[in-house]
Amino acid sequence: MVADSRRSLARRLASRAGTVRVRTTVAAVVVVGVALLAGSLALVAILGNTLTREVLNATRLRAGEVAAVLESGIQPSTIALLEEDDTLVQVLDEESAVVASSPTIEGERPLARLRPGESAEIGVAGDDDDLLAVAASADTPQGRYIVLVARALEGVTESTRTVSGVLVIGLPVLLLVVAATTWRVVGRALAPVDAIRSEVEEISAVELHRRVPELPSDDEVARLASTMNRMLDRLEQAQARQQRFISDASHELRSPVASIRQHAEVALAHPERTTASELAETVLAEDLRVQRLVEGLLVLARADEHTLQLRRRPLDLDDLVFDEARRLRETTDLDVRTVGVSAGRVQGDAAGLARVVRNLGDNAARHAHSRISFAVAERNGTVVLS
């Protein structure tokens, strides 16, 4: 029981995960997430480079100031190398010996082995933060000195760490906002589609008159609703044609079937009144009638399905009428007259027109008492059959 519940839950989750709403939300989150991640990495990198460049410029400026003081003739040992904003200064002679330094690193080895104009990030024992050191040269009467100036990169590290922390917290929150917004917007956009689906699902074969609600807008959803309603119109019309076809078939076939049954019952009840040949002739005649009805119904069915192919050609309608009159004279006792038939040339399908003329003749014979009169005349370019 528990296993069945788990499988049912898994199927529901799988079906929900495949919906357009879920796929769209996931796609939006992935696209925005990738873009934000790339932008965040670029932002942190640009920020670090910019702050490092500012520290480098300030350090070079400080090294230039110290070199200018030395070139003015002041002895290195008499320079007041005071610390300024985490800045360390050392003055080296031509043998790389420290001749002057900031108080905090007095007596220490040279901070770095750099040639004038070079710069490098260095580490200091007992300090977790790196330093950015630059070297500048000072030519004095006593000889050439190398000025080393180092500035802490603590501000750069703290700034980039702060921005990175904000991004680490802000990006997931922003992605949640994107996901919630996309979920809501897509849900509202697909709500009419779901309403259309629910309405169509409830429409049965006996309720084809129902229609889905159409929106006043002209977007894809409104066009979908309009298309669904037109499809329901076609289905309703097809069902009506099918019902008419069944009704017409039942009505037309009832008469020959009843006639065959009646003659068969009479032959069984009174065999002396009906011979086998008479019964066979009756059955054959009614069978031919059924055959013509079935052929006619098939033609109607093809016409409803728009699969009826007509072969139009010039033909004489009066010839078809004379042929039908001859058939009625041979198969009935009616007085069939064709005095009113004149020449009438039309453009049409021979088989179809012959079927029409025969149907008219059969209907006339069924309702006539003693006489049938055919007439064909041309009036104002139109051939009229009556």
Angle formed by the axes of helices 350-367 and 276-304, nearest 10°: 130
pLDDT computed for residue 302 by the predictor: 67
pLDDT computed for residue 13 by the predictor: 45
- Please answer whether residues 292 and 265 qualify as being in contact, where contact means their C-beta atoms are separated by less than 8 angstroms: no
- Please answer whether residues 181 and 25 qualify as being in contact, where contact means their C-beta atoms are separated by less than 8 angstroms: no
pLDDT computed for residue 265 by the predictor: 76
Across the chain, which has 386 residues, the per-10-residue mean pLDDT values are 51 58 89 93 92 87 84 70 69 82 78 81 66 84 84 85 90 92 87 77 71 73 77 77 75 72 75 73 74 71 64 81 82 80 79 80 81 84 81
Using DSSP's 3-state secondary structure scheme, residue 328 falls into helix
- Please answer whether residues 111 and 133 qualify as being in contact, where contact means their C-beta atoms are separated by less than 8 angstroms: yes
> Is 212 exposed, middle or buried (CB count within 10 Å of its CB: 0-12, 13-18, 19+)?
buried
pLDDT computed for residue 78 by the predictor: 61
pLDDT computed for residue 77 by the predictor: 64
Domains and CATH numbers, the chain: 15-201 (3.30.450.20), 230-309 (1.10.287.130), 312-386 (3.30.565.10)
Positive/negative CA dihedral, 242, 248, 252, 257: positive
